[in-house]
Amino acid sequence: MDIFRLKTNISVFLLCFLLSSSFSLVKAQTTYISAQSGNWPTGSTWIGGVAPGAGDNAIIKDGHTVRLTTGGTGTFINDLTIEAGGVLDADNKEMNINGKFIVDGTYTSFDPSAQDLNFNGDTLGGTGTIAVNKPTSYFIFGTNTKVLPSAHLNVFGHIRIASGVTVTNHGMIEVSGELNGQNATSTWTNDAGSTVEAANLLMSTGVLNASASGNTVVYVQQADQAVKTPSASTYYNLTISGSGIKNTSSDLIINNDLTISSGTLNSNGNSLQIKGNWINAGDFTEGTGTITFNGTIDQSITNASGEVFYNLTVNKSSGSLILNNDVNVSGTLTMTSGVISAGTGVLILGTSTATTGTLSRTGGIIAGSFRRWINSTGTFLFPVGTSSNYHPLNITLNGLNSGGTLTSKFNESVPGNTGLPLFDNPDSVFNTFVDGYWELNKADGFNLGGANNYNITLDGTGFTAFTIDGSTRVLTRADAGSAWLAQGTHLSPVGNVARRNTLTTLSAHYAFGDTTNCYPPSTSAITGLNEVCTGTSGVSYSVTNNPPNTYNWIITGGTQASG
């Protein structure tokens, strides 16, 4: 009987223990919702009349302000949600959150004696405000944390990332104070599509990962600010804002856009590689570094006041570098590959006759205007052309009265036949090549001098109007309204390069002249209907063949039966 009672007591004890354990587990997941404004430990503040415990979850509703009153190590909670319009006033007390932290309202500790906000959970989100007012207190990330993609949080005060902890940002965080690590093992990672705005030090201690596609790092301090060198020295989007000078301390790679919205970016002689667009509405101090554009898509440079670089390198395997304004290179312009599309702007090499700059070209084309400062005799390359063909102009100055600038451009338009035919011993020149013409304009005090002359070479690669042969001439005119002249001395072309010596007219236009055809090339319209009804067949089209012209036929929604 005693043994039976003992077994019964043990069974009852185990049952009670299991029930107690189950109750504890359920209780640990209890969510408490604020009923009204009040102090955190006061039961009447919460629906049900009981304050949440350390293992519970809490929700502060719209219109309610809940105030912390527990000193020492502070208040503990698992998940904490502050709804829009809700306020958690930490006053001068410490807060500890060990689960999910969602702030659509306000967490505030605007008190001179504000204490730390310790976050040891794994998820941060919301679109509200977190404020830790005291300069020596922090919003501390104590464990690895993910910031939700939907987050757009404003943090007033400092953020500290604990040793060995990684915060991965998928949303948008704006920080008014420092965002810093405890030591070199602390990490902030901007994931794809995320944004962090830093108004003070950004990971001056620790690691910054900022290369993920679509992410943006913005430096917004209203004073001088250091630009962090991220892992692999790589940003995706880098934005400079605020005021003062934002200083780089090493070479950087920008995998997409560099934007200077306001303030000044000082590269301090360091180099920048840009794979996207350059947008400058502030100031850039170029120092002696090199700006390299090496993206594989179209890129652009925008500065309404005109951009100035020390060294500029263009190395594009595809796409164009589009100049939306003038761009000036005071040091070395290096052209490795790719098209520089100047548009209505001008690419300028040098800043004066004292600083003429250096051109180093192994590939690439300037489609548009290229200006060079020149202060001596010698040969000068203008690597101009179109987006598809390279038509460089080389000028050799045999004498020079005073230096200045020469600006060249290849115009892909018909040069006209004004002044033709003309005799250039022993041939008559009947037509210009309709493929285009060059112009070369002097300015800024450039004066060849009445007793001096120059030689010129022009590359007609890709020209199809006539055959370039030994009699192909270089013709000259003063401007678009003048007649073509056979000035200077003819030299036979070398390949597709036509040559002329002892020219004297500057500014001038240049075109290729043909001596073999009395009539210019002609074209004829394609005959036939622009549109054909569905089911129709046997519709014919024709064009008169005028070699060397070619025609492209584009058929949409039908098939070519013959021809």
The predicted-structure confidence for 407-432, as pLDDT tens digits, reads as follows 999 999 999 999 999 999 999 999 99
Give the mean model confidence (pLDDT) for residues 246-258.
98
**Position 510 in a domain:** no
In a domain, 64, yes or no: yes
For 23, the 3-state DSSP assignment is: helix
Strand-pair partners of 394 = 381, 457
What is the rounded CA–CA span in Å between residue 285 and residue 523? 53
Number of domains in the chain: 1
pLDDT of residue 551: 59
Residue 28: predicted pLDDT: 46
Q: How many CA atoms lie within 13 A of 319 on its CB side?
A: 16
Bridge partners of 66, per DSSP, are: 38, 88
- Name the one residue in this structure whose structure tokens are 């073509």: 484
Sign of CA dihedral 99, 102, 105, 106: positive
What average pLDDT does the segment 133-155 reach?
A: 96
Is residue 48 a contact partner of residue 31, using CB atoms and an 8 Å limit?
Answer: no
Residue 85 has pLDDT above 50, yes or no: yes
Residue 548 pLDDT: 54
Q: Judge whether residue 12 has pLDDT over 60.
A: no
Judge whether residue 61 has pLDDT over 80.
yes
User: How far is 93 from 71, CA to CA, in rounded Å?
Assistant: 6
Query: Which residues fall within 8 angstroms of residue 442, CB to CB, at 6 or more apart?
Result: 404, 405, 406, 448, 506, 507
Residue 8 banded pLDDT, cuts 50, 70, 90: very low
Nearest to 498 by CA among 466, 473, 463, 465: 473
75 assigned to some structural domain = yes
Give mean pLDDT, residues 315-324: 97
Reported confidence tier of residue 213, pLDDT bands at 50, 70, 90: very high
Lookup result for tokens 């050799």: 396
Residues forming beta bridges with residue 92, ordered by sequence position: none
Taking the C-alpha atoms of residue 209 and residue 232, their distance in angstroms, rounded to an integer, is 8
Tell me the three state secondary structure of residue 147: strand
Strands of 79-122 (E only): list them: 80-82, 87-89, 95-97, 100-103, 106-109, 117-119
Measured between alpha carbons, how far is residue 119 from residues 146, 170, 541 in Å?
A: 12, 17, 76
CA distance 240 to 220: 7
Query: CB 127: neighbour CB atoms within 10 A?
Result: 16
Q: Are 180 and 160 in contact (CB under 8 A)?
A: yes
In whole angstroms, what is the distance from residue 190 CA to residue 213 CA? 9
| Strand ranges for 129-240 from DSSP E | 129-132, 138-141, 145-147, 152-156, 158-161, 166-169, 172-175, 179-181, 187-190, 195-198, 207-209, 216-219, 225-226, 234-235, 237-240
Give the predicted TM-score (pTM) of the model. Answer: 0.86
Q: Kindly list the strands in the beta sheet with 138-141, ordered across the sheet, starting from the edge strand earlier in the chain.
A: 75-77, 95-97, 117-119, 138-141, 158-161, 179-181
Higher pLDDT, 494 or 550: 494
Residue 86 lies in a domain: yes
**Closest to 495 in 3D by CA, of 477, 532, 470:** 470
Task: Please give the residue range of the domain that contains residue 126.
Answer: 28-209
Residue 23: its pLDDT value, please?
A: 38
Q: Is 58 a member of any domain?
A: yes
Contact 308, 330 (CB under 8 A): yes
Q: What is the pLDDT of residue 522?
A: 60
**Cβ–Cβ < 8 Å for 246, 258:** no
Please check the confidence at residue 562 and state whether its pLDDT lies above 80: no
In a domain, 47, yes or no: yes
Under DSSP, the state recorded for 78 is S
Confirm if 545 and 523 have CB atoms less than 8 A apart: no
Tens of pLDDT along 376-411? 999 999 999 999 999 999 999 999 999 999 999 999
Residue with tokens 């800043």: 351
Give the separation between CA 496 and CA 554, rounded to whole angstroms. Answer: 31
**13: its two tokens:** 């004890």
Pairwise CA distance, residues 25 & 15, whole Å: 15
Q: Would you state the pLDDT for residue 352?
A: 98
Q: 168: pLDDT confidence band, cut at 50, 70 and 90? A: very high
The alpha-helical segments, DSSP class H, found in 446-547 are: none
Res. 524 pLDDT band, cuts 50 70 90: low
- Write out pLDDT tens, residues 222-251: 999 999 999 999 999 999 999 999 999 999
At residue 541, the pLDDT reads 77
Between the alpha carbon of residue 361 and those of residues 151, 264, 275, 333, 347, the distances in Å are 48, 31, 20, 8, 14
Indicate whether 249 belongs to any domain.
Answer: no
319 with 338: CB under 8 angstroms? yes
